[in-house]
Amino acid sequence: MAKSKTTLKINGMICEHCVKTVTKALEELDGVKKAKVKLKKGLAKVAYDSDKIGVDGLIAAVVKAGYEANA
């Protein structure tokens, strides 16, 4: 268990539904403890276990959900 935190820049979110979609996409991942997504700032704060998943994996999940993400 290696507790890590990161903030991703998310592009493409336009409403609260998008926020829920991105939050769910992140929190469904094995190793993600918590995702806090802010619509206005276009940011996602993610608490995760870096033994299980990396930033690349987090970004891939957001992209798969239909949004752009950058570390």
Which spans of this chain sit near Cu ion (rule: CB under 5 A)?
14-15, 17-18
Shorter beta-carbon distance to Cu ion: residue 17 or 36 = 17
Contacts of 31-34 with CB under 8 Å at 24 or more apart are 31/57, 32/58, 33/3
Distance between CA 55 and CA 34 in Å, rounded? 14
Give me the least distance between CB of 17 and Cu ion, in Å please. Answer: 4
Give me the least distance between CB of 39 and Cu ion, in Å please. Answer: 8
Give me the least distance between CB of 12 and Cu ion, in Å please. Answer: 9
